[in-house]
Structure 1
Amino acid sequence: MTMSYEQARDRLLDAALNHVAFDGWSEETFRAAVADTGLDAGFARAICPRGAVDLALAYHARGDAAMLERLASEDLSDLRFRDRIAAAVRFRLEAVTDKEAVRRGASLFALPVYAADGAKAIWGTCDAIWTALGDTSEDVNWYTKRATLSAVYSSTVLYWLGDQSPEHQATWEFLDRRIDNVMQFEKFKADIRKNPLLKPLLAGPNWLAQQMRAPRRGDDLPGSLG
């Protein structure tokens, strides 16, 4: 039976997870996964040109998919929007099947050579959350929402990795505090924009912000001006 790239990658990822706790997302882990699955080494390398780095990203994407599936099945309509955001972040962390794999991934993507991959993965998670929750912004708010949530999500993950409280209760309290901080900052920004004394100073930045447009799905570029 012919195996698709996606099926083969899933098999490699499942096998790699048995080794990540000991060897991290490393070449040793990738080679062990290839050996465990019995896949041809050339075929495995074609699927994951960067070896375990690509498997680490696949593991992150698997968590995103599980989060989206849960979001689609849960009724969040009675929650305030800030609580829907908190629920989505919590669902994403609860989708993790191997905490040590995330810890090792955090170490991997902290390396300068892979930092851009890590940032892109986090941005993708936050974009998926906003999109699933019905965000329709088309201007600079598209970027600020995702950038702000990326900061909240990243700090929450780091806190969660060290959290030993029952059922990670301390993490969820930390998450609520971070979202409260964001809401306070948004209120501060709104007050600044309403201040008539500051309007002349903000004219230029406001004009530039109005020119920004959210990327169209499928575009290679992150966005556009005008």
Structure 2
Amino acid sequence: MKLKNMADDLNGMPDRLLQAVLRHVPFDGWSAAALRAGARDVGMEDSSVADIFPGGPRDAIRAFSRAVDLRMVETVIGADLEALRIHERVALAVETRFEVLSLHREVVRRGFSFVALPQNSPLGTRLLYKTVDDIWYAVGDRSPDFSFYTKRGLLAGVVASTTLFWLDDDSEDRLETSAFLHRRLADVMKIHKARKCVETARDRAISPLRIVREVIEMRYGRPVAGDSQVT
């Protein structure tokens, strides 16, 4: 699967500014200094930065994360997923995101430092949630049931821990990151299967009560007292 450089999607002035800022983030962090340096690179006045990123570095890192997620979704949706099981699709999406980020590891590292600050942690949580939500969307999951939140919560842990591993992975083609990711996803699948077993056991325990209820209703033609409590 061949990915275009993320810069190919950044053509307007806000995107050009972001691309310029990314060159300074490894040295200045996600900071006002990086924004000003990026602005100078594209011939903008420092005062104009606030027009594009009124929230300063927070808006810039949000724009960066969104651009990465959009590229990931576009690439995964365009792939042939038919023969892949759901955890294989998720693995493909996460690994695709790392491919998109391959030239920006230090930018991501600085991003972790930025959202680790107490005042920025809510932003980090929102960005992580948006990423995992986009992953589930890209792999074809549209379920609105309770597992909607469970799956996103579990995947958030996988994405966060694997990204930290990826930042320090110098193995060829990041093979160790891939192995780490698949181990984490296997752990999640075990949790999912355990939950399914509990639900199955619950349903089997309830089924005899339903049979009794239905027999009484057929015999006497009226609902069983307290029937609304039998589920």
Query: Given the two structures, how large is their TM-score scaled by the length of structure 1?
Result: 0.80
Q: Structure 2: how far apart are the matches of 1:199 and 1:122?
A: 38
* 1:120-151 superposed Cα distances (whole Å, 9 cap, x missing partner): 11111111111122212112111111111111
Match of 1:161 in 2: 167
CA shift for structure 1 position 175: 0.4
Q: Deviations over 1:102-135 (max 9, x none)?
A: 0100110111111111111111111111112221
* Structure 1: gaps (5+ residues): 1-5, 201-226
The aligned counterpart of 2:7 is: none
Give me the whole-angstrom Cα distance separating, in 1, the residues matched to 2:15 and 2:202: 57
Match in the other structure for 2:86: 81
The one of 21, 46, 56 equivalent to 2:26 is: 21
TM-score, length of structure 2 as denominator length: 0.79
Contact 1:192-1:198 at 8 Å conserved across structures:
no
* Structure 2 partner of 1:180: 186
Question: 2-side partners of 1:79 and 1:148: how far apart?
Answer: 20
Cα distance in structure 2, aligned partners of 1:194 and 1:21: 51
Out of 187-196 and 114-123, give the one that drifted further.
Answer: 187-196
Number of aligned pairs?
Answer: 195
Letter of the 1:119 partner, please give it: T
Larger mean CA deviation between 49-58 and 118-127 belongs to: 49-58
Distance in 2 between residues matched to 1:160 and 1:199, nearest whole Å: 45
- Secondary structure of 1:195 counterpart: helix
Taking the aligned partners of 1:59 and 1:70, their CA distance within structure 2 comes to 17
Q: Provide the residue aligned with 1:90 in structure 2.
A: 95
Offset at residue 154 of structure 1 (A): 0.7
Stretches of structure 2 lacking an aligned partner (at least 5 in a row): 1-10, 207-231
1:112 aligns with: 118
Q: How far has the Cα of 1:23 moved from its partner?
A: 0.7
Task: Report what 1:191 is aligned to.
Answer: 197
**Which of 72, 76, 81 is the matching residue for 2:77?**
72
Task: Give aligned-pair identity as a percent.
Answer: 38
Aligned equivalents of 1:120, 1:165: Cα separation in 2:
30
Distance 1:101 1:191, change over 3 A: same
Q: Which has the larger radius of gyration?
A: 2
Q: Helix, strand or coil: the match of 2:179?
A: helix
The structure 1 segments of at least 4 consecutive aligned residues displaced by more than 6 Å after TM superposition are 197-200
CA contact (8 A) 2:35 2:57 kept: yes
The equivalent residue for 1:127 is 133
Counterpart for residue 137 of structure 1: 143
Residue aligning to 2:228: none
CA distance in 2, matches of 1:189, 1:107: 35
1:199 is displaced (CA, Å) by: 6.9
Contact 1:9–1:55 (Cα < 8 Å) also in 2:
no
